[in-house]
Structure 1
Amino acid sequence: MNQNQKRTSAFDNLLSPLRVGAFELRNRVIMGSMHTRLESGPDPITRQAAFYAERARGEVALVITGGFSPNSEGLLEPGGPRMDDAVETATLRPICDAVHTEGALICAQLLHAGRYAKVENCVAPSPIRSPINKFVPRELTHEDIVRTINNFVTAAANAQAAGFDGVEVMGSEGYLLNEFTVPHTNKRTDDWGGSVENRHRLPVEVVRAVRDHCGPDFMIIYRISAADLIENGAPAEEIALLAQKVEAAGADMLNTGIGWHEARVPTIAYPVPRGAWRQAAANVKRAVSIPVVASNRINTPELAEDIIASGDADLISMARPMLADPHFVRKTRQGRTDEINTCIACNQACLDYIFSERVAGCLVNPRAGRETEFHDNVATVPKKIAVVGGGAAGLASAAEAGRLGHDVTLFEAADTLGGQLNLARAAPGKDEFDETLRYFLAQLHKHGVVVKLGTAASATDLGGFDHVVIATGVTPRFPDVPGIDHPKVATYAQILSGERRAGARVAVMGAGGIGFDVAEFLVTAPAETEQSAVFFSVWGVDGKFTRPGALSGDPLAPVPGTRAVTVLQRKPSKPGKALGVSTGWILRNALRKRGVKMLTGVSYDRIDDTGLHITLDGAPMSVEADTIVLCTGQEPVRALYQALTDQGVVATMIGGAKEASELDALRAIDEGVRLVQTF
Structure 2
Amino acid sequence: MTSSAPPASPLLEPITVRGTTLPNRVVMASMHLGLEDRVEDLGALAAFYAERAVGGVGLIVTGGLGVTPEGAVAPGAGLLATEEDARAHRTVTDAVHAAGGRILAQLLHTGRYARGADLVSASATRAPISRHTAHALTVGEIAELVAAYARSAALARSAGYDGVEVMASEGYLLNQFLAPATNRRTDAYGGDAARRRRFPQEVVAAVRGALGEDGLLSVRTSVTDLVADGQDGEEVLAAAAAFEAAGADLLMTGVGWHESRVPTVLTSVPRAAFLDATARVRAAVGIPVIAANRLTTPADAEAALTAGAADLVGLARPLLADPDWVRSIGRPGAEHLTPCIACNQACLDHVMVGRPVSCLMNPRAGRETDPRYARPVPVALGRRRRIAVVGAGPAGLTAAHRAAGFGHDVVLYEAADEVGGQFRLARRIPGKEEFAPALEHLRARAVAAGVDLRTGTAVTVDTLLTDDGAPAFDEVLVTAGVRPRAVDLPGMGEPGVPAVHAYDDVVAGRVSCGPRVAVVGAGGVGVDVAQLLAAPEGERPGEPEPITAWRARWGVTDDPSVRGGLTERAPRTPAREVVLLQRSPEPIGSRLRPTSGWVHRAELAALGVERMSGVAYERLSEDGLHITVPGDGPDERVPRVLDVTDVVVCAGQEPEAGLAGDLVAAGYLAGAVRTVGGAEDARELDAYRAMDAAVRAVTG
Partner-residue secondary structure (3-state), 1:581 = coil
User: Hey, what does 1:638 align to over in structure 2?
Assistant: 657
- Is the contact between residue 9 and residue 330 of structure 2 (CA under 8 Å) also seen in structure 1? no
Q: Cα offset for 1:249?
A: 0.8
2:474 pairs, out of 452, 459, 466, with: 466
Answer yes or no: is 1:70 the counterpart of 2:67.
yes
RMSD across aligned positions (CA):
1.7
The answer to whether residue 527 in structure 2 is matched with residue 516 in structure 1 is: yes
Stretch of structure 1 that moved more, 368-377 or 355-364: 368-377
**TM-aligned CA deviation for residue 39 of structure 1:** 2.7
Does the alignment pair 1:216 with 2:220? no
**Paired residue for 2:503?**
492
Between 327-336 and 397-406, report the one with greater CA deviation.
Answer: 327-336
| CA deviation profile, 1:325-377 (whole Å, cap 9, x unmatched) | 01000121556664111000000100111111100111110001111112233
* 2:275 is aligned with 1:263: no
* Aligned equivalents of 1:165, 1:365: Cα separation in 2: 28
In 2: Cα distance, 1:654 partner to 1:41 partner: 32
Q: Distance in 1 between matches of 2:304 and 2:327?
A: 19
Structure 1 residue identity aligned to 2:695: V
| Residues 337 and 282 of structure 1, relative CA distance in 2, 3 Å threshold | farther
Query: Would the alpha carbon gap of residues 227 and 675 (structure 1) be closer, same or farther in structure 2, given more than 3 Å must change?
Result: same
- In the alignment, which residue of structure 2 is the partner of 1:626? 645
> How far apart in 1 are the matches of 2:598 and 2:620?
31
Quick one: distance in 2 between partners of 1:460 and 1:146?
Answer: 77
Q: AA paired with 1:510?
A: G
- What residue is the counterpart of 2:430 in the other structure? 428
How do residues 263-662 of structure 1 correspond to structure 2 at under 5 angstroms? 263-332=260-329, 338-373=335-370, 374-376=373-375, 377-380=377-380, 381-462=383-464, 463-485=471-493, 488-525=499-536, 526=539, 529-553=544-568, 558-617=571-630, 618-649=637-668, 650-662=672-684
* 1:76 positional shift: 1.6
Deviation at 1:276, TM superposition (A): 0.6
For residue 158 of structure 2, the aligned residue among 161, 165, 172 is 161
AA of the residue aligned to 2:200: P
The one of 247, 250, 262 equivalent to 1:250 is 247
Q: CA deviation at 1:502?
A: 1.7
Contact 1:474–1:636 (Cα < 8 Å) also in 2: yes
Deviation at 1:546, TM superposition (A): 4.1
Is the 1:279–1:545 Cα contact (8 Å) retained in structure 2?
A: no
Distance 1:443 1:334 in 2: 13
Structure 1 counterpart SS, 2:166: strand
Distance in 2 of aligned mates of 1:615 and 1:190: 60
C-alpha distance in 2 between matches for 1:383 and 1:545: 62
Look up the equivalent residue of 2:223 and give its one-letter code. Answer: A
Q: Deviations over 1:616-635 (max 9, x none)?
A: 12111111112211101111
Q: Given residue 100 of structure 2, which amino acid in structure 1 is its aligned partner?
A: G
CA contact (8 A) 1:280 1:544 kept: no
Structure 1 distance, partners of 2:48, 2:225, is 30
Q: Once structures 1 and 2 are overlaid, which stretch shifts more, 496-505 or 38-47?
A: 38-47
Alpha carbons 1:299, 1:343 under 8 Å: kept: yes
Q: CA deviation at 1:4?
A: 10
Counterpart-to-counterpart distance in 1, 2:693 and 2:9: 38
Distance 2:337 2:624 in 1: 47
TM-score of the superposition, structure 1-length normalised? 0.97
Letter in 1 for 2:638: A
Please give the per-residue CA displacement for 1:40-98, whole angstroms capped at 9, x wherever unaligned: 46831210110001111110101100001111221221101111102222211121121
Q: Work out the CA distance in 2 between the residues paired with 1:139 and 1:132.
A: 18
**Does structure 2 retain, via aligned residues, the 8 Å contact 1:253–1:292?**
yes
* Partner SS state of residue 433, structure 2: helix
Identify if the C-alpha distance between structure 1 residues 576 and 390 changes in structure 2 by more than 3 Å, giving closer, same or farther.
same
Match of 2:686 among 661, 664, 672: 664
Q: Is 2:163–2:211's contact at 8 Å kept on the other side of the alignment?
A: no
Name 1:31's counterpart in structure 2: 28
Determine the C-alpha separation between the residues in 2 that align with 1:204 and 1:219.
16
| Equivalent of residue 200 in structure 1, options 197, 204, 209 | 197
> Do the aligned partners of 1:471 and 1:656 also contact (CA within 8 Å) in 2?
yes
For 1:417 and 1:61, the matched residues in 2 are separated by 36
Aligned partners of 2:535 and 2:172: how far apart in 1? Answer: 33
* Offset, 1:560: 2.3
Cα offsets for 1:193-224 (capped at 9, x unmatched): 11111000011111111112222211110110
**What letter is aligned with 1:597?**
E
Greater Cα offset, 561-570 or 257-266: 561-570
Structure 1 match to 2:468? none
CA distance in 2 between partners of 1:495 and 1:609 (Å) = 22
Contact 2:266–2:596 (8 Å) recurs in 1? yes
Of stretches 528-537 and 56-65 in structure 1, the one that deviates more from structure 2 is 528-537
For the 8 Å contact 2:175–2:222, the answer to whether it is kept is yes
CA distance in 2 between partners of 1:553 and 1:529 (Å): 22
Residues 118 and 134, structure 2, Cα contact 8 Å, conserved in 1:
yes
Report deviation, 1:661.
2.3
**For 1:134, what is the secondary structure of its paired residue?**
coil
The normalised TM-score by structure 2 is 0.94
> Partners of 2:47 and 2:3 in 1: how far apart?
33
**What is the identity, as a one-letter code, of the residue corresponding to 1:392?**
P
Aligned-partner SS, 1:469: strand
User: Does residue 673 of structure 1 match 2:670?
Assistant: no
Identity of aligned residues (%): 44
Give 1:417 deviation, angstroms: 0.6
Contact 1:270 1:429 in 2 (8 A): yes
Tell me if the contact between 1:385 and 1:406 (Cα under 8 Å) persists in the aligned partners.
yes
SS of equivalent to 1:91: helix
Distance across 2 between alignment mates of 1:364 and 1:4: 34
Q: 1:43 to 1:510 in 2, by over 3 A?
A: same
Distance, in Å, in 2 between the alignment partners of 1:320 and 1:298 is: 10
Letter in 1 for 2:93: C
Please state whether the residue corresponding to 1:362 is helix, strand or coil. coil
Query: Is 2:167–2:219's contact at 8 Å kept on the other side of the alignment?
Result: yes
Give the letter aligned to residue 68 of structure 1. Answer: L
Q: Is the 8 A contact 2:38 2:78 kept in 1?
A: no
DSSP-derived class of the 1:263 partner = coil
What count of residue pairs does the alignment treat as equivalent? 673
- Farther-moved stretch of structure 1 (172-181 vs 35-44): 35-44
Asked if the contact 1:341–1:435 (Cα under 8 Å) also holds between the matched residues in 2, the reply is: no
Counterparts of 1:311 and 1:216 in 2: how far apart (Å)? 29
Secondary structure of the residue aligned to 2:595 is: helix
Structure 2's unaligned 5+ residue stretches are 465-470, 631-636
Q: For the Cα contact (< 8 Å) 1:75–1:119, is it kept in 2?
A: no
